[in-house]
Amino acid sequence: MPMNVQPIPGVSERINQIRLLTAEVVNKEILPHENLLWAARRPGAPEATRKRAREIRDAIKAKVKQTGLWAPHLPEEYGGCGLSFLEHAYMNEVLAYTLGGAALFGVVAPNSGNQKILARFGTPEQIRNWLVPLTEGKLESGFSMTEPDTAGSDPRSLRTTARREGNEWVINGLKWFTSNGRRADFFIVMCRTEDPSGPADRNGKMTQIIVPRDTPGVNILRNIEVWGQESDHCEISYENVRVPLGNQLGAAGSGHHAAQERLGAGRVYHCMNSVGQMWRAFDLMVQRATERDVHGGKLETKQFVQGFIADSYIDIQAARLMTIHCAERMDAGLDARTDISAIKIFVPDAYHRVVDRAIQVWGAAGVSGDLPLAAMYQGARTLRLADGPDEVHKILIAKNVLHRHHAGESWDFGN
């Protein structure tokens, strides 16, 4: 069933145009081929299926470029379609309706986050050497921050060091869950660039450094199995890795700030993606409820299932409106830190609940590879710990509320 996207009253004409154009690509170009595109990804898929999928993917990408929707996260000067923050956020809820659709629009994590960081902080030379080939698809990249031996949810505790020696940075440390690890031609590595034994309570110690994959001392130790499946999230040791000082990205000590900036807007985009995926799960659930006969009637006549539909409707509306509210505050340049934390907790959890109900309604088919629900379920669960786990964001919300209270103000939910 196609995604039902109509103009939204009150938003800009451009946002409506982008949503409608995106829906046209999703409904006409992607959804009819979705099964084949998924089948081609399975281990052991026949070469003929993979070849056909490549042709279809190329044709979809050509259509996306022709429609002017390619790489919504990048400015036009770097080959993107130069959308504003809000336009991009609204586009995501539509393109995410089809799982994996973002890649067909030129948004492929972790390259997309690295592209944004390079566009924002890169020197002209870094832009020429890394950003341009990355956007042209000639290079792949990874973002190497999380470590097995320190808490990723407290990134200031990380132990990987970068020591200055002459004209070079010398990097030592162990990272894991570096996505795209095997395919990457370079990594952006988060390093501690001050005294490693000092207190970890200051933000100004972290620096991001570009490390080409083939630099001596970069050792990919293993691909970590995720949800019981082979993945490209890698464990990597950096042993006396030497790169020129010019590979430092942004000012020394700006790494934490840059990562927060990457994550802040990224969380809104991820949440709008989750809304699009919930929307799809919801449509699938309703469709099945109207078609499946059980115990003398369609599922839709059973009150348990009606409850699933109503609860999911409420979850999606709440998640979507919270995310749009947060995006609007960010777009207006207002302090949205509390809202970002709130959506980062609420939306993945709501997504998890909606997909869980959709799976229940579909029965065994819900956990099969015939539907996108099982992959969505794993994605939703993972989102609750990646990019800052729930607990860390709850602490931040409480801190902001209490800070205001102690300053003599109660919280103003109208602003």
Ligand X SMILES: Cc1cc2nc3c(=O)[nH]c(=O)nc-3n(C[C@H](O)[C@H](O)[C@H](O)COP(=O)(O)OP(=O)(O)OC[C@H]3O[C@@H](n4cnc5c(N)ncnc54)[C@H](O)[C@@H]3O)c2cc1C
User: Which positions lie near ligand X, rule CB under 6 A?
Assistant: 110, 143-146, 151-153, 177-179, 226, 233, 382, 385-386, 389, 391-392, 395
Q: Give residue number: closest CB to ligand X.
A: 152
To ligand X, the closest distance from the beta carbon of 146 in angstroms equals: 3
CB of 110 to ligand X, least distance (A): 5
Which one, 26 or 236, has the nearer CB to ligand X?
A: 236
Three-state DSSP state, 76 = helix
What is the 3 state secondary structure string of 321-370?
Answer: HHHHHHHHHHHCCCCCHHHHHHHHHHHHHHHHHHHHHHHHHHHHHHHCCC
Q: Which helix (H) or strand (E) is 298 found in, with range?
A: strand 297-298
Q: Which is nearer to ligand X, 38 or 143 (CB)?
A: 143
Shortest Cβ 71–ligand X spacing (Å): 19
CB closer to ligand X out of 115 and 179: 179
Beta carbons of 143 and 179 less than 8 angstroms apart: yes
DSSP state of 205: T
Instruction: Retrieve residue 120's tokens.
Output: 């924002």
Pick between residue 79 and residue 155 the one whose CB is nearest to ligand X: 155
- To the nearest 10°, the Cα dihedral for 399, 203, 115, 275? -10
Q: How many residues does the structure list for the chain? A: 415
Q: Report in angstroms how near the CB of residue 218 gets to ligand X at its nearest.
A: 15
Q: Which is nearer to ligand X, 286 or 396 (CB)?
A: 396
**Residue 52 token pair:** 């056909």
Q: What single string gives the DSSP state of each residue in 263-285? A: HHHHHHHHHHHHHHHHHHHHHHH
Q: What is the closest distance, in whole angstroms, from the C-beta atom of residue 386 to ligand X in the complex?
A: 5
C-beta closer to ligand X: residue 11 or 220: 220
Cβ of residue 227: shortest distance to ligand X, in angstroms? 9
For residue 396, the tally of other CB atoms under 10 A from its CB is 18
CA-to-CA distance for 108 and 74, rounded, in angstroms?
A: 12
Nearer CB in complex with ligand X: 23/259: 259
> Cβ of residue 145: shortest distance to ligand X, in angstroms?
3
